[in-house]
Structure 1
Amino acid sequence: MAVHGGVRCQRPGCAGRYDDAGGGELYCDVCRLAPVVSADGLLSSPATEITGRVPEDERAGRDGSSSASGSAGEPTRQMPGPAVPVPERRTDSVAGSGASGSAASSGPSGSARGRLGAGLVTVPQVPRPDPHTAVLERPEVPERKRFCSRGDCGAAVGRAQGGRPGRTEGFCTKCGHPYSFVPKLRPGDMVHGQYEVVGCLAHGGLGWIYLAVDRAVADRWVVLKGLLDTGDEEALAVAVSERRFLAEIEHANIVRIYNFVEHLDPSTGSLDGYIVMEYVGGKSLKDIANDRRTPQGRRDPLPVEQACAYGIEALEALGELHRRNLLYCDFKVDNAIQQHDQLKLIDMGAVRRMDDIRSPIYGTIGYQAPEIAELGPSVASDLYTVARTLAVLTFDFQGYTNVFADSLPDPEHIEVFRTYESFYRLLVRATDPDRSRRFASAEEMAEQLTGVLREVVALQSGEQRPAPSQLFGPELRVVDTELMTVEEGAGSLLGARGAAPEAVAAGGPVLRPLDAARVALALPVPRVDPADPNAGFLAGLMTVAPAELLPALRSAPADSPELRLRALRARLETGDGPAAQALLSSVEAEPAARAAGDWRRVWNRGLVSLACGDRESAALAFDAVYDAFPGEPAPKLALAVCAELLGQLETAAEYYRLVWTADHGFVSAAFGLARVRLAAGDRGGAVEALEAVPEASIHHTAARIAAVRARLRQRPPHDALLDDLQAAAREVARLAEFGLDAGRREQLATEVLGSALDWVLSGSHGAPPGGGRPPSLLGSALDERGLRFGLERSYRLLARLAQRGEERIELVERANRFRPRTWV
């Protein structure tokens, strides 16, 4: 919504309204704060203390760091367990298709694909500008951004009164704490005898941030940022000691901390401490987002693939901090800068140790996890901030600091959510109100976000970049490669010379029904949890037959969840559904099984339900796994199968399309997509899916045979069939050259020639006008006489190839019935 004068303030508890302050600036007439999203759609990141008193970005300026005091008490830290439980869905059937509508705009052009975006997308480079251009000509802090820096106060200071401008230095009238918005360092000042100040870059929560030149190290550019509460030597020593760990962090995506120095302020005599940091030139994600404008002047959200690229880089940086037992706490659009084709976290002011329960907590409303005030920061709360940043970047997220401060809008109202369901599900899991249900680590979230990005790229461009899954093995077998079968009555109907066209057409190919138990066993199998005590033992039993596997499992050195899940699968493969259900119940009853990998338990619940005919329960289980791992194809394939069995063909088609578009290694998705498209009357779409199965696949020939049958199945007599007949004939000839055996080749030829004879007998609808010699089809003239000779020839060849006498006699009789009457 556009913010204008007279609109109520967005801040909870404030009764003010936004008024124009002149120069196009809007602010509340009570709290004196600017709106979160300005009238022209610019993003801002108002940071707050965890008690929600004063939006810190209004006092922090461009740096945007905020210090939350310990007023909420000393929060206890509760880290998530080793595995995140799978959220249960509350729907009664398979989830809606989700990914509908047109794809988002194509990936941006410019640089070659590099590090940013895992090599999957092209992100426009941001060149490093001349550092001099970043220096402020007149370093001033607007009055509306002046607040007391004492953590438990935050009162407005330095405001105009009685027509006089506000003071830039003085004491807070509420708590007496001194304040100053005048830069302590001036151009030319030498700090620590090494760093020559060039000027001010921005004003942050800890004061001014300065650009300087390191005269002792090759005149490199550096940034000086003040330390909190270092007015005397003892306080400075404590501050330096507490932050010394930052200098140990070396990572390509994290700004480098070079040094901690002290400087005597000649005007006050105080000893001030500064962090010396790497200078990162480029653009923050906030500036990149705000620079994108629509023709109407509104902010144009980033393409989802570009935002995902940023998210993957940010998660890699956070993962490095987490491995060092550190938390970042305040990730947002302000605190990451793109320089060339790399993303860097630039503000380390909020970083804290995981076991620190005393230091001030930093965070920003709209990005900060809701449990911070009660439980304190954690790995899960860091991941929450990344998901919120992705949301802010990818759509016009109105109200993300108030109405939707702890939630996401309904996907019905957000186009990017409707178009990319997997992206939406990723954000939902990463921002779950219960942090134990979020991703367990930055690595896990990055893996799933990369899978989502692969899917997005495939949907937009058709370019596939599949990668092996860390959770599921490859597709074991294709659910159904036959697709359809031929009614036995076709030959006798066609053999009756002069039979009615309606009777002839009734004998075409028909779809095969799916076997739910067979489908369940064809789905990808979860990889064995490497932490399971029987992981090595089970690895040696991968190729053992089901009947031999159960006795072998009894010799395992110890009982474990993975051992029972392997026995459960063996029971399913031998057709013993009740025994598999009993094993599943025993696994679900053990808390240790849940801790070792709850999602595997839910996945196997879906398999057992599907094999036992409970399709609704199977769909709910697979949907929960999709919630947990939105970047994985396996749960989408399972959902597609369940939807097909439940008769929800539109949903099935959408999930089959998602899987097949992203990875042609899942051939079951191609056959499934063909089945549901045929059922919906989309014959061309079914053929397209089947003919896309690559030649490298062992199912290539089966897919091409199915494509031939898909062109011809159940065609009404009035159809214009000529083009499909000719295409089918060309495919049969191609398959013969490709190595199709003679028996299947001739069987396919009889189907093509039989369909052609039906078409000719029904009036050859769609045939080109005019006389002349009829066209040829598989070496036979495309008229009744030629087609009958062709069918006779094929059936006699099939008779010679037949293994059983009864079959040979039947094929010869068919050949005789099709043979036209001749004088010889």
Structure 2
Amino acid sequence: MTDCGQPGCGGRIEDGFCTVCGIAPPAGGSGATPARAASSLSVSVSSRSTRTGSTRSSRSSRSSRRGRLGAGLVEVPPVPYRDPATAVMANPEVVERKRYCSSCNEPVGRGKDGQPGRTEGFCRKCGTGFSFSPKLVAGDLVAGQYEVLGCLAHGGLGWIYLARDHNVNDRWVVLKGLLDTGDDDAMAAAIAERQFLAQVEHPNIVRIYNFVQHPDPRTGGQVDYIVMEYVGGQSLKELRAAEGPDGKLAPLPLGQAIAYALEVLPALGYLHSLDLLYCDFKPDNVIQSEEQLKLIDLGAVRRIDDEDSASYKTDGYCAPELEDDGPSVGSDLYTVARTLAVLTFNFDYTGVHRASLPDAADEPVLARNPSFHQLLRRATDRDPNRRFGSAQEMVEQLTGVLREVLAAEDGQPRPGLSPLFSQERRVFGADTGDWPAAPRPGEVAAALPVHQVDTDDPAAGFLATSAAGRPAEVIAALTASGLSTVEVSLRLARAQIENGDQEGAAASLRALSAEDPDDWRVSWYLGFDALACGDAGRARAAFGTVYQLLPGEAAPKLALAATEECAGNLADAARHYEVVWRTDHAHVSAAFGLARVRLGRRDLAGAVAALESVPASSSHYVAARVAAVLARVRDRTAGELTVADLSSAGQQLAELDLDAAQREWVTVDVLTAAQSWVQANQSAPPPQERVLGCALTDRAVRRGLERACRALARLSDSRAERIRLIDLANSVRPVTLV
């Protein structure tokens, strides 16, 4: 054995992998060579699974939809199919450090005084028999149909064999037997597995062909074998241990790891829909072959209401409540999140962080991707009831996180419709009349997305047809309907907030919270109420709760950004606005918000870039370009203004298709800034550039301002406004002799 070379890891290299971090040593380094084909088959072989007692199970899950690898968002490198003929082990044996009693978990079969340990015998502590010798050898014909070629690996419940099916075109198959035929729990697990697997048919779950028996050469008793599909490729554990471009072992790219999780979660959701729990998910148990992913080793699968059978777990991946409460949908999803963490960064997941995650400050991938960090935190919450309630719910949020991750990597938006929120009801902060003033909190609350109505709610149809209009009208309609459902109460609370009835809204939301304290929709509208009251601290807390629960959604980040802007926390506002806008250009409020806070932080170039990134297809394209013009000239001191700013503003304004009045008003802004620059630089010779046709001299700029003011006076319908504009024109006109 040698020390693991991973930074901060105190493990030892045994059997080709570290005993702590589970990572293989670099190529050419010290340490034993891993057994061949350890994961090119339908079984878990590397991390030892241990059994736990069980007392109860938890809630079930609705079925999940299956999508393309990575939701069609990320390209995952294919893994070549592995020829099964090259996978047979030359010397099949279970290394001594992996030999444990199946009954009491005491080490067995260990060597002493330089002598190797026995592969068969009895546990000294409890007397249970053990056998780690293969029960099948090359040439054995099982059930008169399956010719054994040899051992592939040793998994959690026994040896795995490669065979040919002579009845079906000599196709390759895998035979999986028991760890020990004398172990009652193992036998029961195998029998249960047979019953469960007869129901399972999913493209991302290994196929089961048959169940057969063959005599044990030691005892003559019949041993049960499961005949499974051969899956040739590499496990996620092997892929995680591959070398990076620099020749060092590196975590998988975050997008690729998320793609794997998105592909396998629907398989778990499918099992949950059959009231089955997988129980022992980990990188060893997922194989990629070419462009397909397969969930393998169903030996730990159990029924969701099974309170008696022994369950299997792997330290570092299993949920902390397994010992006392048994497995559940929440504990299955916990293992997926732990697997994601292990695949994407290095940490002591079997030691210091056996039931926790590193802080973002200590792990760069978490610091760079806060939404991914939030997703892991929710999925691994110590309270199972605060985790995701189903595989589909986790898929929805993880897909949103993936869009965000990929957009951050290459700067290209990854838009997607939310299953939980509407689009923005209106764009806030886009009024160029008072640009770049921050929007009012009430304006933000009236513009933010609202939750999608649950179509299973009895009042969903009524709300779709009768709950629109002014807030007072909506309140009257809901009250008169006599309906009392969750969706009606939520719609009533929103209408009360919009109508200024904070006391009534608070009462409605308190009642909803008493029924379901964990309903994120209540927190969402508590944030609306706080914003409408101008209470940024309370709004931040409410929207922050929604973000923690729904890290893949844009709406909570947009709400947090606006709240921080209203509170004057420009750095935090910029961070949230940037994530929302970079990921999805449908949230135009984020572009205007990002530009405003960048201007507030004296980042003119960044503000203009945000506004000019609003696509031409947007109905707010012109408003964004006008705002970009104003950003260059409005609220800037003469010392800050440059000729390039003035020239760019004039050129961009000339290219815009504006109505006459708006064009002249913006012209006044641009030329007023030009006048300030001229007055501050009177001693210098005028530059060659012209702004809106005016030379940068006091006389020329004044002439331009006068023309714009008189044009506005002619366009005005108000006598008082015409007089004001004419007076302004007279005040700026250059002095003449006539």
TM-score, normalised with respect to structure 1:
0.82
SS at match of 2:538: helix
CA distances 1:94-122 after superposition (whole Å, capped 9, x unpaired)? xxxxxxxxxxxxxxxxxxxx932111111
2:51 is aligned with 1:68: yes
Which residue does 1:78 correspond to in 2? Answer: 58
Structure 1 353/289 Cα, relative in aligned 2: closer, same or farther at 3 Å?
Answer: same
Cα distance in 1 for residues equivalent to 2:179 and 2:4: 37
2:666 is aligned with 1:748: yes
Which residue does 1:804 correspond to in 2? Answer: 718
Cα distance in 2 for residues equivalent to 1:25 and 1:521: 56
Deviation at 1:177, TM superposition (A): 2.9
Structure 1 411/808 Cα, relative in aligned 2: closer, same or farther at 3 Å?
Answer: same
Q: 1:627 aligns with which of 524, 548, 555?
A: 548
Deviation at 1:294, TM superposition (A): 7.4
SS at match of 2:354: coil
2:284 is aligned with 1:331: no
Residue ranges of structure 1 left out of the alignment (5+ in a row): 11-17, 27-33, 43-59, 83-113, 486-509
Mapped contact 1:549–1:570 kept (Cα < 8 A): yes
SS at match of 1:474: coil
Q: 2:607 aligns with which of 686, 689, 705?
A: 686
Mapped contact 1:65–1:347 kept (Cα < 8 A): no
Which residue does 1:783 correspond to in 2? Answer: 697
Mapped contact 2:486–2:512 kept (Cα < 8 A): yes
Mapped contact 2:119–2:132 kept (Cα < 8 A): yes
Letter in structure 1 aligned against 2:58: Q
Deviation at 1:631, TM superposition (A): 0.1
2:79 is aligned with 1:126: yes
2:496 is aligned with 1:571: yes
2:475 is aligned with 1:550: yes
Structure 1 640/587 Cα, relative in aligned 2: closer, same or farther at 3 Å?
Answer: same
Mapped contact 1:609–1:618 kept (Cα < 8 A): yes
SS at match of 1:118: helix
Letter in structure 2 aligned against 1:292: E
Structure 1 306/438 Cα, relative in aligned 2: closer, same or farther at 3 Å?
Answer: same
Structure 1 422/233 Cα, relative in aligned 2: closer, same or farther at 3 Å?
Answer: closer
Mapped contact 2:135–2:217 kept (Cα < 8 A): no
Which residue does 1:531 correspond to in 2? Answer: 456
2:360 is aligned with 1:435: no
Deviation at 1:39, TM superposition (A): 8.7
Cα distance in 1 for residues equivalent to 2:253 and 2:189: 45
Cα distance in 2 for residues equivalent to 1:307 and 1:371: 26
SS at match of 2:466: coil
Deviation at 1:770, TM superposition (A): 8.5
Deviation at 1:534, TM superposition (A): 1.5
Structure 1 391/324 Cα, relative in aligned 2: closer, same or farther at 3 Å?
Answer: same
Structure 1 610/181 Cα, relative in aligned 2: closer, same or farther at 3 Å?
Answer: same
Where do residues 93-172 of structure 1 align in structure 2 (5 Å cutoff)? Answer: 115-148=68-101, 150=102, 152-172=103-123
Deviation at 1:349, TM superposition (A): 0.4
Deviation at 1:483, TM superposition (A): 5.5
Mapped contact 1:282–1:337 kept (Cα < 8 A): yes
Which residue does 1:639 correspond to in 2? Answer: 560
Deviates more, 1:258-267 or 1:795-804: 258-267
Mapped contact 2:457–2:487 kept (Cα < 8 A): yes
Mapped contact 2:158–2:180 kept (Cα < 8 A): no
Cα distance in 1 for residues equivalent to 2:23 and 2:397: 33
Cα distance in 1 for residues equivalent to 2:312 and 2:629: 64
Cα distance in 2 for residues equivalent to 1:458 and 1:560: 39
Letter in structure 1 aligned against 2:476: P
Letter in structure 2 aligned against 1:323: S
Mapped contact 1:115–1:341 kept (Cα < 8 A): no
Where do residues 145-544 of structure 1 align in structure 2 (5 Å cutoff)? Answer: 145-148=98-101, 150=102, 152-227=103-178, 239-240=190-191, 243-293=194-244, 295=246, 297=248, 299-398=249-348, 400-482=349-431, 485=434, 511-544=436-469
SS at match of 1:732: helix
Where do residues 702-713 of structure 1 align in structure 2 (5 Å cutoff)? Answer: 702-713=623-634
Cα distance in 1 for residues equivalent to 2:166 and 2:24: 44
Deviation at 1:154, TM superposition (A): 2.5
Deviation at 1:477, TM superposition (A): 1.0
Mapped contact 1:146–1:157 kept (Cα < 8 A): yes
Mapped contact 2:262–2:399 kept (Cα < 8 A): yes
Cα distance in 2 for residues equivalent to 1:776 and 1:233: 92
Deviation at 1:336, TM superposition (A): 0.5
Letter in structure 1 aligned against 2:424: E
Which residue does 1:654 correspond to in 2? Answer: 575
Which residue does 2:538 correspond to in 1? Answer: 617
Deviation at 1:35, TM superposition (A): 4.2
Deviation at 1:192, TM superposition (A): 1.0
CA distances 1:327-383 after superposition (whole Å, capped 9, x unpaired)? 000000111011112221111000111111121101101000011111110000000
CA distances 1:432-486 after superposition (whole Å, capped 9, x unpaired)? 111001001000001100100000011111122211111111100122112563x
Deviation at 1:794, TM superposition (A): 1.5
2:654 is aligned with 1:733: yes
Structure 1 577/461 Cα, relative in aligned 2: closer, same or farther at 3 Å?
Answer: same
Structure 1 560/266 Cα, relative in aligned 2: closer, same or farther at 3 Å?
Answer: closer
Deviation at 1:526, TM superposition (A): 1.0
Deviates more, 1:525-534 or 1:703-712: 525-534
Cα distance in 2 for residues equivalent to 1:700 and 1:817: 34
Which residue does 1:819 correspond to in 2? Answer: 733
SS at match of 1:362: strand
Indicate the structure whose relative CO is greater, using CA pairs within 8 Å and at least 6 residues apart.
Answer: 1
Cα distance in 2 for residues equivalent to 1:161 and 1:511: 79
Cα distance in 2 for residues equivalent to 1:452 and 1:245: 33
Structure 1 758/731 Cα, relative in aligned 2: closer, same or farther at 3 Å?
Answer: same
Which residue does 1:86 correspond to in 2? Answer: none
2:623 is aligned with 1:664: no
Cα distance in 1 for residues equivalent to 2:603 and 2:13: 58
Cα distance in 2 for residues equivalent to 1:561 and 1:181: 58
How many residues are aligned here? 717
Cα distance in 2 for residues equivalent to 1:224 and 1:673: 59
Deviation at 1:513, TM superposition (A): 4.2
2:582 is aligned with 1:602: no
Structure 1 41/615 Cα, relative in aligned 2: closer, same or farther at 3 Å?
Answer: farther
SS at match of 2:197: helix
Deviation at 1:653, TM superposition (A): 0.7
Deviates more, 1:114-123 or 1:696-705: 114-123
Cα distance in 1 for residues equivalent to 2:79 and 2:4: 33
CA distances 1:619-645 after superposition (whole Å, capped 9, x unpaired)? 101000000000001111111111112
Mapped contact 1:80–1:435 kept (Cα < 8 A): no
Deviation at 1:663, TM superposition (A): 0.9
Mapped contact 2:61–2:269 kept (Cα < 8 A): no
SS at match of 1:789: helix
TM-score, normalised with respect to structure 2:
0.91
Mapped contact 1:534–1:557 kept (Cα < 8 A): no
Which residue does 1:759 correspond to in 2? Answer: 677
Mapped contact 1:77–1:357 kept (Cα < 8 A): yes
Cα distance in 2 for residues equivalent to 1:373 and 1:358: 13
SS at match of 2:610: helix
Structure 1 185/683 Cα, relative in aligned 2: closer, same or farther at 3 Å?
Answer: same
Deviation at 1:613, TM superposition (A): 2.1
Deviation at 1:240, TM superposition (A): 4.0
